Amino acid sequence: MATMALFRICPRTGLQFHKSAETLIKLNAVVAVVSLLVGGILALLITLTRWQAIHLVGAEQFYLLLTVHGLDMLAFWIIFFEIAVLYFCSSTLLKSRLATPRMAWLGFALMLIGAVTVNAAVFSGQATVMFTSYVPLPGHPAFYLGLILFAVGALIGCFVFLGTLVVAKAEKTYEGSIPLVTFGALTAAIIAIFTIASGAIILIPTFLWSTGYIKSIDPLMYRTIWWAFGHSSQQINVSAHIAVWYAIAAIVFGAKPMSERVSRTAFLLYILFLQLASAHHLLSDPGLSTEWKVFNTSYAMYLAVLASMIHGLTVPGAIEVAQREKGYTRGLFEWIRKAPWGNPVFSGMFISLVGFGFLGGISGVMMGTEQLNMLIHNTIYVPGHFHATVVIGTTLAFMALTYFLIPTLFQREVIMPGLAKWQPYLFGLGMAVFTLAMMGAGTLGVPRRHWDITFAGTMLPYEFPGTASLMLGIMGVAGVVAVIGGGLYVFLTVGSLLWGKRLEGGTYGTQGGVLRMPVATAITGHGGAGFAAPGTFVFALVFLTAFVLYYFVNWKYLSTVWGLS
């Protein structure tokens, strides 16, 4: 079988695609975009409902749509795309055939069946249980079964990825170590396996409970294990989108990692510590000891935060070094001023990086602090935070990568490049204002997953401060802008696939090229030499200042509330 593998080499990028891998990458990416489309339409309806002045859909519909939105976005859009990224980072980057394509097809089929089942279960009105499906809130058994099928499919995808690494190593398609981007993808896959195992441990009994075979599921046990799945799956995203950042820095600038050792160690810290963060969701829970909360919520001693702060420096740092080598050396910031801001591959990636760090990162650490969590637990601050990490961070990074994949993978020219240029700005900045407004409203106590904060018709209503309604209004407007930006992405992607000018993609042959690197060529000149990225370092200090200030402002706020002990 192996000798029958068909390959083509993209004439523009030199990337080599194995035919089976290529088809699967395309299919996973297309299903991902379809999920994004469905989730995006729901996003609009949900935003326009929480925008209290419009209050579009009814309560029952709202909770139902919110459940589907969470699953289609957080699970289906992102994980289908991630499987595509995994196959790309293994088969394509290592110039290897994909291991066991038939298993990969099986995985894809299971994921698709699972995703459709979950959507059907919720849309039928029998599983309005939110993304988290906290027991004992009952959902239809098909809901849990769909999730389990999807997870098994994704697990198969992870093992196909690992198998491909083994094949590439055995067939010597590359020399030395795997590329940093593949290493990042490997990190994501390892975390994914942990995540999916946790999901299985809790969802299988919950499925049995929903069908009546098990009498009850302990709610705290459910939360503890479910979040090892729910939160860790966001860590897959972090690893995957940081791998994408490194990839885009390499593709657009030819940037090499500042030091392989630092970047890879940072990924290793993710593998070791990120999964402790299921504790973030349990800080305001009964039944867990304070020591458990403090240790786990801080990933031991914030070692995963340290890793993110490292990537936050080394990705732009690598770009700065590459730009300086090209001669953009004037002052601290010429390298960034002269970056290709009109190229959506770059602008999307850079907005993703800045938004993830400043909005998602800082808010995440604040709310993950044991005592501070009480100030925002279950408020709309929480979705504010994770829309910054998962939407600005992951989704925008994936969108940016798509603009690179359309010509090389799908062999089509991106239609309307003038429009594509603006898409990341519209989406990224719309989303940035959206998340800030949500965090603002959350600080004022506005709850998440709540249909009506005016409490109309209740006997003891509470009136939120006027600023809260204003925040929700800003959220609504910015949300609409972001939905337009997201819609534009779907339109440009689908449009390019349908009507984009066909590009020469190279012919298929059985001879796969081998990735031979000039091993230990001349010392490449950087590494240890001087203060190579001063501009990035200044950015990093600005980030740190914002971080420290915001962190202590919240402690100050905490010190004014009721005494609790």
Range 192-221, binding other proteins (CB under 8 A): 218-220
Nearer CB in complex with other proteins: 234/443: 443
CB of 512: closest distance to other proteins in angstroms?
16
For residue 7, the 8-state DSSP code is E
CB of 45: closest distance to other proteins in angstroms?
17
Q: Does 175 bind other proteins (CB under 8 A)?
A: yes
Amino acid at 56: L
Which segment (140-148, 158-166, 261-269, 498-506) binds other proteins by CB under 8 A? 261-269
d(C-alpha 526, C-alpha 259), whole Å: 9
For residue 341, the 8-state DSSP code is T
CB of 377: closest distance to other proteins in angstroms?
4
556 Cβ contact partners less than 8 Å away, ≥ 6 residues apart:
none
**C-alpha torsion 176→180→181→182, nearest 10:** 40
For other proteins, the binding residues in 456-515 under the rule CB under 8 A are 457-462, 464-465, 515
Amino acid at 168: A
Give DSSP secondary structure letters for 180-241: HHHHHHHHHHHHHHHHHHHHHHHHHHHHHHHTTSSS---HHHHHHHHHHHHHHHHHHHHHHH
CB of 289: closest distance to other proteins in angstroms?
5
Q: Does 369 bind other proteins (CB under 8 A)?
A: yes
CB of 565: closest distance to other proteins in angstroms?
4
Q: Which of 78, 250, 349, 472 binds other proteins (CB under 8 A)?
A: 250
Q: Does 171 bind other proteins (CB under 8 A)?
A: no
Which segment (75-83, 173-181, 490-498, 503-511) binds other proteins by CB under 8 A? 173-181
CB of 349: closest distance to other proteins in angstroms?
12
CB of 97: closest distance to other proteins in angstroms?
18
**C-alpha torsion 18→22→25→28, nearest 10:** -130
Q: Does 55 bind other proteins (CB under 8 A)?
A: no
- Are the beta carbons of 513 and 173 closer than 8 angstroms? no
d(C-alpha 162, C-alpha 172), whole Å: 15
For other proteins, the binding residues in 85-114 under the rule CB under 8 A are 93
Q: Tell me, letter by letter, the H, E, C secondary structure of 69-121.
A: HHHHHHHHHHHHHHHHHHHHHHHHCCCCCCCCHHHHHHHHHHHHHHHHHHHHH
CB of 42: closest distance to other proteins in angstroms?
16
d(C-alpha 28, C-alpha 83), whole Å: 7
Q: Does 448 bind other proteins (CB under 8 A)?
A: yes
Nearer CB in complex with other proteins: 279/415: 279
- Are the beta carbons of 512 and 97 closer than 8 angstroms? yes
Q: Does 285 bind other proteins (CB under 8 A)?
A: yes
CB of 389: closest distance to other proteins in angstroms?
18
Total residues in contact with other proteins, by rule CB under 8 A: 118
Q: Which of 116, 201, 374, 470 binds other proteins (CB under 8 A)?
A: 374
Q: Does 452 bind other proteins (CB under 8 A)?
A: yes
- Are the beta carbons of 400 and 244 closer than 8 angstroms? yes
Which segment (199-207, 387-395, 494-502, 520-528) binds other proteins by CB under 8 A? 520-528
375 Cβ contact partners less than 8 Å away, ≥ 6 residues apart:
443, 554, 557, 558, 561
CB of 490: closest distance to other proteins in angstroms?
27
In residues, how long is the chain? Answer: 565
Q: Which of 202, 309, 406, 482 binds other proteins (CB under 8 A)?
A: 309
For other proteins, the binding residues in 523-552 under the rule CB under 8 A are 524, 526-534, 536-537, 540, 544, 547-548, 551
For other proteins, the binding residues in 262-281 under the rule CB under 8 A are 262-263
